[in-house]
Amino acid sequence: MNKALVEIILPAADKKFDVYIPFESRMSEVKVLVSNLLSDLSDDKYKYTDSSVLCDAESGIIFNVNMKVAELGIKNGSKIMLI
C-alpha cells in the first residue's frame, strides 16, 4: 500500500481523525488536503490558513513542507497535529 493511516489531532475542534495520506506526496500538498477535509469534518470549527502547520504530535517538531511523507518517517499509526 502506498498510503499511511495516521491520526490527525485537531486541537481547535478538540477532535481526532484517522486519515490516509500518500507516502509520495509532499507535506505542502498534504497540509492543504487535510486542512480542507478537517475544516468540513469539524463543522467549520477549524479554518485553513497559510500559517497552518502539521507537526509530530509527540515531539512537537514541525514537518518540513518541502519533504515527502516517506522522507519524514511518517508511517501507519503516526500521530500528527494540525495547528
Domain ranges of the chain: 3-82
Length of the chain: 83
CATH 3.10.20.90 for domain 3-82: yes
**pLDDT value of position 19:** 95
**pLDDT value of position 23:** 97
pLDDT in tens, 33-80: 999 899 888 887 888 888 899 999 999 999 999 999 999 999 999 999
Give the cell for residue 58: 509527540
Residue with cell 503516526: 78
User: pTM (2 decimals)?
Assistant: 0.90
